[in-house]
Amino acid sequence: MSRVGKLPIKVPSGVAVAQENDMITVTGPKGTLSCRLPQQLELEIEPEVVRIKRQDDASPTRGLHGLMRSLVYNMVHGVSQGFTVVLEIQGTGYRAEVQNNVLNLSLGYSHPVQFQVPESIKASVERQTVIRLDGIHKELLGQTAARIRALRPAEPYKGKGIRFAGEHIHRKVGKAGSKK
């Protein structure tokens, strides 16, 4: 049995989990999320707990078991509490600002970079160098943060660029002077 898949999912008050055919819908105070349940799995919905059960012991089914449990857990957590990703910008003259769901970034290029933030994600800028992304869909939030980071990843020599909060950049030693 999958170690992750066999864990029950606690449903907080104010969150409703429903299944119609092969679609799982989770509704809460922050919004609604849904995903498709594979045929090999079935959902047991109790008043305060949701469990994912599998029909057979085949290897692909075992993999899907833990995956679907994690996806449903993330949906429940997202609609009840939400997710947050914080990005930090380092570098002289590097800054960010938000206008109408568009992130305007000055990242050392000859032109400003404009990044359209998806509708379901709320972006805010603190101190011009800290970008905070909030949303209920964990996968979309992570993908958006990765796309913003890819605009100017932190380089290993001076550490300039965009990084996740708390991310450690392994620094390299610069070019050594030549001896004559």
CATH numbers and ranges of domains, the chain: 9-80 (3.90.930.12), 83-164 (3.90.930.12)
Q: How many angstroms separate the CA atoms of 66 and 69, rounded? A: 5
**pLDDT at 98 > cutoff 90:** yes
Q: Residue 81: CB partners within 8 Å, gap ≥ 6?
A: 30
**Stretch 123-133: mean pLDDT, rounded?**
91
**pLDDT at 1 > cutoff 80:** no
Q: What is the pLDDT of residues 13-22, one digit of tens each?
A: 999 999 898 8
Predicted confidence at residue 47, as pLDDT, reads 84
**Stretch 23-27: mean pLDDT, rounded?**
93
Q: How many angstroms separate the CA atoms of 29 and 175, rounded? A: 55
**pLDDT at 74 > cutoff 90:** yes
Q: How many angstroms separate the CA atoms of 31 and 120, rounded? A: 10
**Stretch 145-152: mean pLDDT, rounded?**
92
Q: Residue 42: CB partners within 8 Å, gap ≥ 6?
A: 52, 53, 54, 55
**pLDDT at 42 > cutoff 70:** yes
